[in-house]
Structure 1
């Protein structure tokens, strides 16, 4: 592998030699690809050609995929998601990248609930087991977060549990341990209930979610009559695809991997979560074709993030030690355009949350902090490495990690409103995992700032990894970092300084 001191010298020379004006935005990338003497990438030149209009144009394309799908979403195994990853593959191929599909299998489920012959609309929870249990429907006491809430009558029956306070997984596990043959969780807010149990557990029994009104109706009926419930839940494994694209040039033994997930939840089109990260990488990739890089740039577009980080985990865990060693740094971008945004940077050095990334992660955090503070004069806050986004599998294998985030359902604090504007006491994204996560509700100002910050990182590390302070890459260096494996309740997305970015566990 190349010495970092040599790379730094190359970078210094290039900075002096290429101080001219930025090239025009690429409209016909194939023309640039045939050039043999492209300029070495420079941060200011790459950032300058990134346009809000291009981000929005691609957002409307993804929104169209969702709105042409039953349910108006881009959830895995839907036409909307298939159209998304096929679009990404073609886009990256048309722009001259080496592109491949990375196939893996993920679980999909269907389910129904019938109570005394009446069909109740129900949605199976992610990680529920299959089964066709039938039994007496029994309302659980209180809110089902304690073993004592489950009466003896639950044994052999179907537990009816109100959503709230503790994770779905905890309720499903307690129901199974109490002898229930099935679990029905009903919503505590208006609308149907989608949810995840986070990971498989042998104590789980077939588990579905139903709406608040359906649940309230069943509770009312149980006050005066005995009811029999029948569930029919089928879980099957189907193929889905990550899209992996890499520059043709650059040192392929020193790779910057940048990633974003491509799937949405069932409830909405997922334009912030995570069309925003996907599209930012697509537009950067397009404009990067006007330049060359010393190090190879790889783009990972992950599938099945919303059902347990499956795509990124399968990809990272499937790499041999030799292939893994080629990835010098992984940067993750999930939710970049929250309406009531903050600019959050992963806490690579662990100074805010006492969970640091592998060696090199602190330097990646510093690069983003310095960029926002010194280059564009914007405030930032840290967000914790808690293994609940697509960086997790890479960090677990010792790859340095970093990234950006603008917040999910947690409410903005008054202190953050001073730093970033917006409304205190209101969620960063009131449309998180909902039907309103569409183009009209994106904060395009935050989105373009984050996209330019990513471009700065791509340009910097495309020239040299010297600032990571790793010296020459070696496997032993990566093995120094150990992080606790997240529990079932820890499946979701990342914390920010005021609390969870996405829920610590779905409740």
Structure 2
């Protein structure tokens, strides 16, 4: 028996040596690192390290008066340089760079006064839209027809008044700009669903329809009451007094590509590094940031066949600006080298679901380029192997995969949920509480380390490791890139659209354990 073991060990050594020689010939430098495999890479991902990284991001946010990681803030700048320094410390495994771009950012904003009929509406029933301009106006409310998505929806009576507009169908910024173009001095947009007002953004200016006007978000209950009163002939006057600090700033994507591996057949993956102004953004998207960073650190222990690019995108919360800048400035020849892109935006939601982007379009009739279906199947198989249920989420371009879809790059990824309420079916599949938001701290001050679901965090981070190990080793069974694919039209980014994330079971899920 000992002799057999010795022979086996000798054979294994010879095989490893041959593999190392092949690696030296192909990539030009020696290494004694083992070849990556999914089992090893997943084992390197621990909840202790994930939480330590998350705590570091929280510390960056809380070290400043703003207590957030909004682009341009100290918390975000510290995040960027921490990621860069971490990746550069990995013995030259990655080529790391900062990609600078310029944008408009709202650094702060507050409602000084909001009155309707001379009274302050109930606490929690109104909010300020991000990128609302400063202003102090008092005027009657004027009801806008339909959903305020077309210039013809704004009657002549809107001029000189404050437009009262329903949420729905188009982005908030279009409604505010069209109100301004019609002569309105302000805009009040009411929710089209029960509950609190929507925390939203107008999107960074400028936009072709015109300038924004001071804009407030209110609850459906308030809006319906004002519409009814005005319909009965009551003159309802409102005061909007808001102050915002909006500036031109520079910020950075962090791009890290392995120095080894086939650079003509790269895997790319990413997460966004910024939060909203309201809080530190530790689930949105500190969880994705830390998840891919931990995988990048672990990957540096191994040899790979295919190159891997990790993208840490800035200004996602301002409208996918960082990932869009990267893709739009990527030469066509370089884009053609990316076989697939994987996105991880919110992977530790407290009332979580295991959602996979619907790459084949079978659930939502919106598919990605060839290869996207295979990515969806890969993650379905991962959750099945982990004994976990899964569901589909709409592949509508509302996160940083959108720009990649737009140029025909196969894409996919995971998502554990944002502001939408958990359904009864989802509670049966994933546990948690039906009728409660998947992340009650979405875009709020409480999105800190205590907001993370550690079970979901570890499960999804290991899914990242599984996918990276698989595609860094081989593209077998994955379709070749079609670089002649026509440009795909994608939906507006997540923070500016009106609809919530859509998701449903793609196929009969596993029985709940």
Q: How high is the TM-score relative to the length of structure 1?
A: 0.79
> For residues 371 and 236 of structure 2, what CA distance do their matches in structure 1 show?
63
User: Displacement of 1:36 after TM fit?
Assistant: 1.7
The 10-residue stretch of structure 1 (418-427 or 54-63) with the greater mean CA deviation from structure 2: 418-427
> For residues 280 and 256 of structure 2, what CA distance do their matches in structure 1 show?
24
User: Displacement of 1:137 after TM fit?
Assistant: 2.3
Tell me which residue corresponds to 2:180: 176
Unaligned runs of 5+ in 1: 1-12, 19-33, 500-507
User: Displacement of 1:299 after TM fit?
Assistant: 0.5
CA contact (8 A) 2:142 2:157 kept: no
The 10-residue stretch of structure 1 (102-111 or 89-98) with the greater mean CA deviation from structure 2: 102-111
User: Displacement of 1:426 after TM fit?
Assistant: 1.5
> For residues 455 and 369 of structure 2, what CA distance do their matches in structure 1 show?
31
User: Displacement of 1:108 after TM fit?
Assistant: 1.8
CA contact (8 A) 2:139 2:239 kept: yes
| Residues 452-467 of structure 1: pairs in structure 2 closer than 5 A | 452-467=462-477
- Judged with a 3 Å threshold, the aligned counterparts in structure 2 of structure 1 residues 72 and 143 are, in CA distance, closer, same or farther, namely farther
> For residues 427 and 124 of structure 1, what CA distance do their matches in structure 2 show?
21
**Partner SS, residue 99 of structure 1:** strand
> For residues 294 and 395 of structure 1, what CA distance do their matches in structure 2 show?
25
Tell me which residue corresponds to 1:503: none
> For residues 424 and 228 of structure 1, what CA distance do their matches in structure 2 show?
38
> For residues 458 and 177 of structure 2, what CA distance do their matches in structure 1 show?
43
User: Displacement of 1:314 after TM fit?
Assistant: 0.5
- Judged with a 3 Å threshold, the aligned counterparts in structure 2 of structure 1 residues 66 and 160 are, in CA distance, closer, same or farther, namely farther
| Residues 329-408 of structure 1: pairs in structure 2 closer than 5 A | 329-373=340-384, 375-408=385-418
Tell me which residue corresponds to 2:214: 207
> For residues 240 and 424 of structure 2, what CA distance do their matches in structure 1 show?
47
- Judged with a 3 Å threshold, the aligned counterparts in structure 2 of structure 1 residues 399 and 127 are, in CA distance, closer, same or farther, namely farther
Q: CA-atom RMSD, angstroms?
A: 3.8
| Residues 99-138 of structure 1: pairs in structure 2 closer than 5 A | 99-109=96-106, 125-126=129-130, 136-138=138-140
> For residues 250 and 310 of structure 2, what CA distance do their matches in structure 1 show?
21
Tell me which residue corresponds to 1:484: 489
Alignment pair present for 1:197 and 2:202:
yes
User: Displacement of 1:206 after TM fit?
Assistant: 2.8
Tell me which residue corresponds to 1:497: 503
User: Displacement of 1:50 after TM fit?
Assistant: 1.1
Count, aligned residues: 455
1:370-392 deviations in Å (ceiling 9; x for gaps): 1211x212111111211111011
CA contact (8 A) 1:75 1:263 kept: yes
Tell me which residue corresponds to 2:433: 423
Tell me which residue corresponds to 1:98: 95
> For residues 374 and 444 of structure 2, what CA distance do their matches in structure 1 show?
35
Alignment pair present for 1:451 and 2:461:
yes
> For residues 342 and 405 of structure 1, what CA distance do their matches in structure 2 show?
8
Tell me which residue corresponds to 1:155: 159
**Equivalent residue for 1:317, pick from 323, 328, 335:** 328
Tell me which residue corresponds to 2:43: 48
CA contact (8 A) 2:111 2:128 kept: no
- Judged with a 3 Å threshold, the aligned counterparts in structure 2 of structure 1 residues 433 and 498 are, in CA distance, closer, same or farther, namely farther
**Partner SS, residue 468 of structure 1:** coil
User: Displacement of 1:168 after TM fit?
Assistant: 2.7
Tell me which residue corresponds to 2:69: 74
**Partner SS, residue 285 of structure 2:** helix
- Judged with a 3 Å threshold, the aligned counterparts in structure 2 of structure 1 residues 414 and 489 are, in CA distance, closer, same or farther, namely closer
User: Displacement of 1:486 after TM fit?
Assistant: 2.5
Tell me which residue corresponds to 1:502: none
Q: How high is the TM-score relative to the length of structure 2?
A: 0.78
CA contact (8 A) 2:414 2:460 kept: yes
- Judged with a 3 Å threshold, the aligned counterparts in structure 2 of structure 1 residues 53 and 294 are, in CA distance, closer, same or farther, namely same
